[in-house]
Amino acid sequence: MQKELNTERIPIKMWLEDIEAGALEQARNLANFPFAVSHIALMPDCHQGFGMPIGGVMATKDVIVPNAVGVDIGCGMCAVKTNMEDIKRDELINILTAIRSMIPLGHRHHKKSQDPRRMPPVGDKGKMPVVMREYNSATRQIGTLGGGNHFVEIQKGSDGGIWIMVHSGSRNIGKQVADHYNRLAVKLNQKWDSPVPRSHQLAYLPVDSREGRQYINEMNYCIDFAFASRKLMMDNTMGVFRSFYGSGLEFSPMINIAHNYASMEHHFGMEVVVHRKGATKAGRDTTGIIPGSQGANSYIVRGKGNKDSFESCSHGAGRTMGRKEAIRNLNLAEEVRKLEKKGIVHAIKSQRDLEEATSAYKDIARVMDLQRDLVDVLVELSPLAVIKG
């Protein structure tokens, strides 16, 4: 931990040296949220979000806050190691072409519904009205990458192996659930004359209320959907690799971890709802994934179970520029040069792609250094080729 702020109702513990004004204001709002307990934890990739900063961790008693989970519920990472030790550039280019034919990118969906066995089981349909409304559409969205910072990347590990990594979320079904329950929470908070200013964007639902229980059910379904979607993309990518390298190709068990969710956990002698928004679980011996920006290294890590972070760590590098700011201010030729100097088969083709340029993000090496008390690095992964949505 780098510093602690004690000017609010509860402390703010920070694993970063500098914090932008907007993110700090949001952290202060969290620290004054009447249901927050113990302290607020800010990871080294922290930056401003909606209501709660990305890279923030908050524990609450008795309530859950949809905006402290966010719209991409269950967004996360998965990674698989192959038994390959090398891969040629021309092979990488051909593999990326084949992956793109299997995985719809950006706003594109599958033309047909995927195997229903790929979808998480629904259970009691009455407990998940939004999921049921969006279910049929989701059968065509499962196994699709989406846009923004989501990616499929092929990497070379410090352990000598070739790795595959996927970063994706819950697509539209997660957004619909998030938006529905945030609107509902805002309406109910007004009815209850909540002491939390609406401008803080921290409307809440009691966990023992009908609305709170429904949100938890639907949130958990979206977490399962996001995992199932990553698994389908990983399976399809592994299938592409097998088509190139044959049945002798082997894959390690898949590592998976989410970074936008809330869960009931025990901390500091209390049962609390831990909200992780752009933060990942780093319990003792938990295996996790911390990706860098496009063109930067990523890390397979083992959690140390640090109590002060609510056993959490960063979910990535964290932005230094907003998307529009990056498109407006970064130099396309310079960003392409940085990637090509490293020999990376990249996804920066136009000015618009600069929203995901390396320079739009923090230095991942420094981010990792700031959280040495949260995780140990198991494998460092250097990018070879990347597909972006």
Pairing of strands 151-157, 375-388: antiparallel
pLDDT at residue 144 tops 90: yes
pLDDT at residue 124 tops 90: no
Helix (H) or strand (E) holding 313: strand 312-314
Band (268; pLDDT cuts 50, 70, 90)? very high
Convert the pLDDT of each residue in 279-333 to its tens digit. 999 999 999 999 999 899 999 999 999 999 999 999 999 999 989 999 999 999 9
Report the predicted TM-score, pTM, of the whole model to 2 decimal places.
0.96
Amino acid residing at 16? L
Whole-number pLDDT of residue 348: 92
For the ranges 23-32, 123-132, 336-345, the one whose mean pLDDT is highest: 23-32
Whole-number pLDDT of residue 228: 98
Mean pLDDT, the chain, rounded, equals 96
Whole-number pLDDT of residue 279: 98
Do the Cβ atoms of 287 and 332 come closer than 8 Å?
Answer: no
Do the Cβ atoms of 218 and 128 come closer than 8 Å?
Answer: yes
Convert the pLDDT of each residue in 327-369 to its tens digit. 999 999 999 999 999 999 998 999 999 999 999 999 999 999 9
Pairing of strands 375-388, 298-303: antiparallel
CA 313 to chain centre: 12
**CATH value of 73-258+283-312+361-388 in 3.40.50.1980, 3.40.605.10, 3.30.420.40, 3.90.1860.10:** 3.90.1860.10
d(CA 313, CA 373): 9
Q: Taking residues 62-72, report their average pLDDT.
A: 97
Q: Where do the structural domains in the chain lie, given as residue ranges?
A: 73-258+283-312+361-388
d(CA 345, CA 334): 15
Convert the pLDDT of each residue in 151-199 to its tens digit. 999 999 999 999 999 999 999 999 999 999 999 999 999 999 999 999 9
Phi and psi of 319, rounded to 5°?
-80, 145
Band (126; pLDDT cuts 50, 70, 90)? confident
Convert the pLDDT of each residue in 86-110 to its tens digit. 999 999 999 999 999 999 999 999 9
d(CA 8, CA 16): 18
Whole-number pLDDT of residue 389: 81
Catalytic status, residue 259? no
DSSP states along 11-38: -EEES-S---HHHHHHHHHHHT-TTEEE
**Annotated catalytic residue, options 167, 180, 259, 315:** 315
pLDDT at residue 256 tops 90: yes
